[in-house]
């Protein structure tokens, strides 16, 4: 069975901050477990799912650099942070019976598989959730760009970007009561209006390869599964 939106293979991008819950740092186990249940609900419909998880709840290269660290070293630390998040989400998924594989862009053979595109596709065909860790493996990138890159490489039908609000707004809805939510947006509009929903390289890559991006709110039980059923509120960038 495929989802009403018609997507058969999707990539879900979770930010590291999304795993913090109400904490200031690190991971909230309850949030991770709820996320795992949400992913399972989608997998159970027969949709193939892969994940990219950020690392901002643990370390961001830019903040290391702002304190005087060499930017490349700081970015490698950020990439390692995403591996910790990937292992946490893998564990939660496996505890509820979802087969998973973590593939890292930085080989770490004692911990997980290296990123191998054809293997990732095969895992998904077998119903396994593949978690892509360590971003693109290169400093000066973000996990948003890694998400667009992997989604395109493994032929996903869409990239679902989980955020703290239910789509893309004309202004920050937490600060401006007149902020209006877009139902749809073009990639070019996102870039031209400098709507900072994802970084410009992720948007440009998606535009070039016609990868639709759905921006939705991950809060609330079953938000990802809801969007995959075509329910709830979200903005589509295409
Ligand atoms: N990072 C990187 N290259 C990549 C992906 C990530 O250098 O391809 C580093 C970068 O320092 C970034 C950190 O990993 O700040 C964590 O990723 P990100 O900030 O994208 O996480 P999120 O904001 O989604 O939690």
Cα(101) to centroid of ligand 1, in Å? 20
Ligand 1 pocket mutation pick from 75, 160, 202 by most atoms within 8 angstroms of CB: 75
Q: Please tell me the pTM assigned to this model.
A: 0.97
Residue 80 scores a pLDDT above 90: yes
Average pLDDT over residues 69-73: 97
- Determine contact, residues 80/134, Cβ cutoff 8 Å: yes
Mean pLDDT (the chain, rounded): 96
- Locate tokens 């119903």: which residue? 127
Residue 4 scores a pLDDT above 80: no
Nearest alpha carbon, ligand 1 atom 13: 78
pLDDT attached to residue 174:
85
Model confidence at 128, pLDDT cuts 50, 70, 90, reads: very high
Model confidence at 70, pLDDT cuts 50, 70, 90, reads: very high
Average pLDDT over residues 191-202: 94
For β-strands 48-53 and 9-14, DSSP reports them as parallel
Euclidean distance between CA atoms 190 and 75, whole angstroms: 26
The residue extents of the domains of the chain are 9-237
Model confidence at 28, pLDDT cuts 50, 70, 90, reads: very high
Question: Is any atom of ligand 1 closer than 6 Å to the C-beta of 55?
Answer: yes
139 labelled ligand-binding: yes
Report the percentage of the chain scoring pLDDT > 70.
Answer: 98
ipTM of the complex: 0.98
Name, in order, each residue with C-beta under 8 angstroms of 115's C-beta and a sequence gap of 6 or more. Answer: 103, 104, 105, 132, 134, 137
Euclidean distance between CA atoms 136 and 116, whole angstroms: 12
Model confidence at 1, pLDDT cuts 50, 70, 90, reads: very low
Average pLDDT over residues 94-117: 98
Nearest alpha carbon, ligand 1 atom 21: 54
- Determine contact, residues 198/14, Cβ cutoff 8 Å: no
Q: What is the pLDDT of residues 146-161, one digit of tens each?
A: 999 999 999 999 999 9
Residue 172 scores a pLDDT above 90: no
For the CA atoms of 63, 71, 161, 181, the dihedral, rounded to the nearest 10 degrees, stands at 60
Euclidean distance between CA atoms 169 and 178, whole angstroms: 10
Cα(4) to centroid of ligand 1, in Å? 32
- Determine contact, residues 98/39, Cβ cutoff 8 Å: yes
pLDDT attached to residue 220:
84
Determine whether 6 is exposed, middle or buried from the number of CB atoms within 10 Å of its CB (0-12, 13-18, 19+). Answer: exposed
Cα(66) to centroid of ligand 1, in Å? 15
Architecture in CATH of 9-237: 3-Layer(aba) Sandwich (3.40)
Q: Which residue has the higher pLDDT, 221 or 91?
A: 91
- Determine contact, residues 1/149, Cβ cutoff 8 Å: no
């Amino acid at each position: 069975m495929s989802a009403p939106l018609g997507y058969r293979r999707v990539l879900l991008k979770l930010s590291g901050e999304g795993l913090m819950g109400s904490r200031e740092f690190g991971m909230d186990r309850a949030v991770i477990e709820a996320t795992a249940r949400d992913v399972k609900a989608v997998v159970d419909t027969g949709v193939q799912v892969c994940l990219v998880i950020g690392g901002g709840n643990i370390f961001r290269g830019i903040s290391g650099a702002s304190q005087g660290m060499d930017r490349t070293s700081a970015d490698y630390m950020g990439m390692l942070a995403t591996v910790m998040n990937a292992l946490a989400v893998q564990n939660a998924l496996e505890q509820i019976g979802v087969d998973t594989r973590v593939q890292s862009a930085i080989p770490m053979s004692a911990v997980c598989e290296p990123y191998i595109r054809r293997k990732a596709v095969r895992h998904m065909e077998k119903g396994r959730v593949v978690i892509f860790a360590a971003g693109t493996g290169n400093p000066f990138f973000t996990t948003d760009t890694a998400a667009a890159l992997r989604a395109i490489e493994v032929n996903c039908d869409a990239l679902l970007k989980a955020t703290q609000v239910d789509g893309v707004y004309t202004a920050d809805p937490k600060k401006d009561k007149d902020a209006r939510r877009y139902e749809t947006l073009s990639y070019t509009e996102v870039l031209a209006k400098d709507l900072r929903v994802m970084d410009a390289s992720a948007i440009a890559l998606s535009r070039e390869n016609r990868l639709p991006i759905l921006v939705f709110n991950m809060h609330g039980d079953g938000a990802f599964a809801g969007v995959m059923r075509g329910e709830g509120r979200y903005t589509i960038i295409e």
